Amino acid sequence: MNPEFMHRAIACSSENLDLGGGPFGAVVVKDGKIIAEGSNKVTVNKDPTAHAEVVAIRNAAKYLNDFNLSGCEIYTSCEPCPMCLSAIYWARIDKIYYANTREDAKNIGFDDSLIYDEIPLAIEDRKIPMYSMLRDEALQTFKKWTEKSDKTEY
């Protein structure tokens, strides 16, 4: 736990406001050194997935030339939303440090409550309708993956 890394994540969030982005910033740290930074680029890039943590993870993966960020920590100016939390888990980041809480974010108009509430619901009870189709056809690709001898597992 290093306050200087959190100071940088917060600075990224603040600096991003002047660039037209949202008030979120993140840094990825490995071996006591910042290897990547990210700030919220949703509106700037017209990309709903361009949250600060995701941008920082993408930059860290590019820097390390690896999708596996084991051994890294992430410092983020706000508690990660469900998408960012999932990305952090997929990246295998070891630790998460955050400043603002999800309640703080909700208070300024960034409310993730709906998503948190939707995740545990049965598929048929979610607000966005979901329908399974062509499963047998799609399973053929999964079968091919299972039999592939030269795959890179993740």
pTM over 0.85: yes
Could you state, in order of their start, the residue ranges of all structural domains in the chain? 3-147
CB 28, CB 84: distance < 8 Å: no
Q: Any idea which residues carry the catalytic annotation?
A: 53
Element holding 111 (H helix, E strand): none
Integer Cα distance of 53 and 37 in angstroms: 8
Per-residue confidence band for 46, with pLDDT thresholds at 50, 70 and 90: very high
What lies within 8 Å, CB to CB, of 133 at 6+ separation is: none
Taking only the tens place, the pLDDT of each residue in 51-77 is 999 999 999 999 999 999 999 999 999
Q: Which residues contact 63 (CB under 8 A, 6 or more apart)?
A: 35, 36
3.40.140.10, 3.30.1490.20, 2.40.50.140, 2.40.160.60: CATH of 3-147: 3.40.140.10
